[in-house]
Amino acid sequence: MSTPLVNEFDNWIRTRFVDLNTELESLYFAQDKKEQIQGVGEELKLALITEGDQFVQQLLHEGNTDEGFDSGFDLLGNVGFLMSASRRHEMDEKHPALKSASALAMQLGASLGVVPRFASAHLETHNRAQNGKYKTFTHLDDEKVFLDYNTRGVFGFIRASEALLHILPLGVSHPVTLDLLNTAKDALEKVVENNTALFNELDVDRFFYNVRPYYKTHKVGRHEYRGANAGDFAGINVIDLLLGLCRGNDPYYSQLLVDKFLFMRPEEQLTLRDCMRRTSLMDEFLAVSDEERESQWFKINLSAFLDVCEAHGETARQHHSQLISRFIESPAAKYELAHRQDMTASGPPLEVLLAALQKLHDLRTASYREDIQTRHQDVQTLRSYL
Q: Site residues (CB under 6 A) for ligand HEM?
A: 149-150, 153-154, 157, 195, 198, 202, 207, 229-231, 236, 319, 323-324, 327-328, 344-346, 353, 357, 360
H/E run at residue 2? none
Query: In 3D, which of 77, 86, 34, 79 has the Cα closest to residue 56?
Result: 79
> Nearest approach, Cβ of 137 to ligand HEM (angstroms)?
15
**Residue 187 or 328 with smaller CB distance to ligand HEM:** 328
**Of residues 115, 112, 90, 113, the one with CA closest to residue 102:** 115
Which residues on neighbouring strands pair with residue 225, listed in sequence order? 218
Name the packing angle between helices 350-364 and 296-318 (round to 10°).
170
Rounded to whole angstroms, the Cα distance separating 289 from 375 reads 20
269 or 346: whose CB is closer to ligand HEM? 346
CA distance 381 to 386: 9
- C-alpha span between 123 and 74 (Å, rounded): 10
Contact (CB, 8 A) for 164 and 236: no
- Residue whose beta carbon is closest to ligand HEM: 231
| Neighbouring-strand partners of residue 130 | 133
Name the minimum Å distance from CB 151 to ligand HEM: 8
- In whole angstroms, the minimum distance from the beta carbon of 360 to ligand HEM comes to 5
Intra-chain end-to-end CA distance of the chain, in Å? 55
Q: Identify whether the C-beta of residue 226 lies closer than 8 Å to the C-beta of residue 346.
A: yes
Q: Least separation, in Å, of the C-beta of 271 and ligand HEM?
A: 15
Q: Among residues 53 and 362, whose Cβ is nearest to ligand HEM?
A: 362
CB-count burial class (<10 Å; 0-12, 13-18, 19+) for 3: middle
**Which is closer to ligand HEM, CB of 10 or CB of 25?**
25
Smallest Cα–Cα separation from 367: which of 221, 252, 246, 199? 246
For residue 153, the minimal CB distance to ligand HEM (Å) is: 3
In the complex, least distance from residue 324 CB atom to ligand HEM, rounded to whole angstroms: 5
CB of 345 to ligand HEM, least distance (A): 3
Nearer to ligand HEM by Cβ, of 134 and 385: the residue is 134
Nearer to ligand HEM by C-beta: 89 or 319? Answer: 319
Closer to ligand HEM by Cβ: residue 17 or 209: 209
